[in-house]
Amino acid sequence: MSPEGLAFVVFSAGMLVLMGIGMNMALALVLTGAGMAWVLGFWDTQLLAQNLVAGIDSFPLLAVPFFILAGELMNTGGISRRIIDMAQAWVGHIRGGLGFVAIGAAVLMASMSGSALADTAALATILLPMMKRQGYPMATSAGLLASGGIIAPIIPPSMPFVIYGVTTNTSISALFVSGIVPGLIMGVGLVIAWKWVLRRIDLPAGEPLPMRERLKATAKAFWAMLMPLIIIGGMKTGVFTPTEAAVVAAFYALVISLFVHREMKIAEIGPVLVRAAKTTAIVMFLCAGAQVASYMITLADLPGLLTGWLGPLVQSPRLLMLVMMIVLVIIGTALDLTPTILIFAPVMLPIAVKAGIDPVYFGLMFVLNGAIGLITPPVGTVLNVVAGVGRLSLHQVIKGVNPFLVTYIFILALFVAFPQLVTMPVVWMR
């Protein structure tokens, strides 16, 4: 067997074995990268160290810790809760209204933090107890909240788009713009799916709140709703870059939490920074480890090997996209979103570009597919978050998420069949 073929075996088998024994994903990437370096004859500890540093030595990646910090500040400072309160004031009285509240709040919160885990945790912490008190089936409710949480990686600002843009050298601003319409379509899809699910659930309708109370709740959420307008508007007008937008988002959330809502004390800043730093360390270690594996994948010419397999499909872009999406759906059942981007995006994008597929459109589809993987068993990181917050078994949450998972798969197929749904809004907005 050639060194390149042996490197492929080391990478694929090594990742499967290390993931199977439950090893940390970042460490698994480093070890498989080191194994590939050994069989390729490039073993050098200095080379490995240089790639570890290069994986996180990127100015655009600075957006990641600041978006994470913004999400933590939103949850601690009451910004997330005010969004949910506003949604409840307007649609909470409808039969199954808390489900519609969850969807509306998920879309609004997605336009502020860009983190599926942070948004899901906030939604589940506030809404699951309310749903339980009002007699909602816990499995279905948890599934809906998990499905709403994964809108965050699609609607800007999106941390996965930042990571994808850095990894593949794709315009992060263009990726942000590409996610607006698909994110809204995901919200509409959840509304339709929730209405379908409600046919089998006996839930009473409530009394609508007076208009004064609705307007009061909306006024309380004013500063929260202003946040995405500042971020997206600033990037659209060129006032700041996506990285600078992350800093603006974190600073804005801090000021609103401390001096406007006054729900966060100065003493709470320390714990918030610690939580954000821990999450940032996990993401950055993944980026560093993936760079080691990615460098060795390039040396072994594994992209060329994959091109050879998919070469006959290059002449049919839609069929190629369909095959790639099916492959990514399978990968998403075992890998989290960030390592999926770091490992497979640099390999698949050149093939897509060769077939004439728009790189921004491919990036949106790649991240959307990976986001769906967050609610796909057996890994399903977001499923685990909801199960933990709601003290439910993972089996219950998996059962409850199925109708919404089918809806997302249908939306993914819709975008494959009609890429104009993604590309035309990008052209118009740019």
Taking residues 228-256, report their average pLDDT: 89
Tell me the domain boundaries of the chain.
3-429
* Percent over 70 (pLDDT), the chain: 99
* Cα–Cα distance, 332 to 337 (Å, whole number): 7
The residue assigned the tokens 């994110």 is 183
Collapsing DSSP states into helix, strand and coil, what is residue 347? helix
Q: Are 19 and 28 in contact (CB under 8 A)?
A: yes
- For the stretch 373-426, pLDDT in tens is 999 987 788 998 999 998 899 899 999 999 999 999 999 999 999 999 999 888
As a whole number, the mean pLDDT across the chain is 90
Taking residues 340-353, report their average pLDDT: 90
Whether the per-residue pLDDT at 269 is higher than 90: the answer is: yes
- For the stretch 54-73, pLDDT in tens is 888 888 888 999 998 998 99
How many of the other CB atoms lie within 10 Å of CB of 418?
Answer: 12
| Six token digits for residue 84 | 């949910």
For CA atoms 253, 255, 261, 265, the dihedral sign is: positive
Q: Are 206 and 130 in contact (CB under 8 A)?
A: no
Whether the per-residue pLDDT at 1 is higher than 70: the answer is: no
Q: Which amino acid is at 252?
A: Y
Angle at 382 between CA 30 and CA 177, to 5 degrees: 85
pTM for the model stands at 0.89
Q: 105-114, 168-177, 293-302, 404-413: which range is least confident on average?
A: 293-302
Q: Are 307 and 354 in contact (CB under 8 A)?
A: yes
| Six token digits for residue 40 | 């390729």
More confident call, 69 vs 238: 69
What confidence score (pLDDT) does residue 12 get?
81
What confidence score (pLDDT) does residue 136 get?
94
What confidence score (pLDDT) does residue 430 get?
64
* Cα–Cα distance, 170 to 308 (Å, whole number): 24
* Cα–Cα distance, 245 to 236 (Å, whole number): 11
Whether the per-residue pLDDT at 137 is higher than 90: the answer is: yes
- Name, of 186-195, 330-339, 340-349, the range with top average pLDDT: 186-195
- For the stretch 270-317, pLDDT in tens is 999 999 999 899 889 988 988 888 888 878 877 677 777 777 788 899
What confidence score (pLDDT) does residue 232 get?
83
Taking residues 251-272, report their average pLDDT: 95
Q: What is the full DSSP assignment across 75-128? A: HHTTHHHHHHHHHHHHHTTSTTHHHHHHHHHHHHHHTT---HHHHHHHHHHHHH
Q: Are 345 and 164 in contact (CB under 8 A)?
A: yes
* Cα–Cα distance, 170 to 167 (Å, whole number): 8
* Cα–Cα distance, 307 to 299 (Å, whole number): 15
* CA 78 to chain CA mean position, Å: 22
Q: Are 78 and 253 in contact (CB under 8 A)?
A: no
Collapsing DSSP states into helix, strand and coil, what is residue 223? helix
Distance of CA 339 to CAs 54, 78, 209, 291, 374, Å? Answer: 16, 31, 45, 10, 12
What confidence score (pLDDT) does residue 297 get?
81
Q: Which amino acid is at 209?
A: L
Whether the per-residue pLDDT at 190 is higher than 90: the answer is: yes
How many of the other CB atoms lie within 10 Å of CB of 60?
Answer: 15
What confidence score (pLDDT) does residue 399 get?
94
Q: What's the pLDDT band for 47 if we cut at 50, 70, 90?
A: confident
- On the CB side of 309, CA atoms within 13 Å amount to 9
